[in-house]
Structure 1
Amino acid sequence: MLESVKGALRVTSSDPVIVLEITDLIAGARMELIQAGVSIVNAANDEDPLIRRAIILYAKAHYGLDGPNAERFAESFESLKNHLSQAGDYRELV
């Protein structure tokens, strides 16, 4: 997932500080999905295209300080997160 997110962010650096920031963003996206009701198993599934898209949107919204499209990416992430949290195939079974 790290390489996919780095590619989406157009980051080629392997600087440990940058890699740590991106890794933290990936973990943050997963946690937001889980807190919204997506199961832990689904949130960890890097093969699922909707989970991948959600993580990339989250990273694009939160990476760097001056992203001109950050708000648009954040809104897209929220919309997808809401969809996933309501979809039966993605929800945490209670």
Structure 2
Amino acid sequence: MLNNIKLALRISTDSFDEELRDLINACKSDLKLSGITNIDEDDSLIKRAIILYCKANFGLDNKDSEKYNKSYDLLKQHLALSGDYKNE
């Protein structure tokens, strides 16, 4: 997943790996708090959610942060409403 995030953020250095891993884990925790329990990184919607979360929260001067955060929140809502992403 780290390599996917680096590619999405156009990062080629390893300097930000720890911060990116933290963002990936924070996203997974946020998804779990929303009731999403099936967090398979190979699932295209889960992967997109993690990428959007990282794009919204990486960097201090991120002019597109709000746009990515809104996209993440909408996708998270859809995932939370779907039975496919919950263990019941």
Normalised-by-shorter TM-score class: over 0.9
> 1:67 matched to which residue of 2?
62
Q: CA deviation at 1:11?
A: 0.7
Q: Aligned residue for 1:2?
A: 2
Superposed counterparts of 1:38-57, under 5 Å: 38-39=36-37, 42-43=38-39, 45-57=40-52
TM-score for both structures, normalised by structure 2: 0.96
Shift of 1:35: 0.5
* Moved >4 Å (runs of 4+): none
Query: Unmatched 5+ residue regions in structure 2?
Result: none
* Aligned-partner Cα distance in 2 for 1:66–1:92: 38
Q: Percent identity?
A: 41
Aligned with 1:89: secondary structure? Answer: helix
TM-score w.r.t. the length of structure 1 is: 0.90
Native 8 Å contact 1:62 1:70 kept in 2: yes
Distance 1:85 1:72 in 2: 20
Asked if residue 13 in structure 1 is aligned to residue 8 in structure 2, the reply is no
> What is the Cα deviation at residue 92 of structure 1?
3.4
> When the two structures are aligned, how many residues end up with a matched partner?
88
Residue 60 of structure 1 deviates from its aligned partner by 0.2
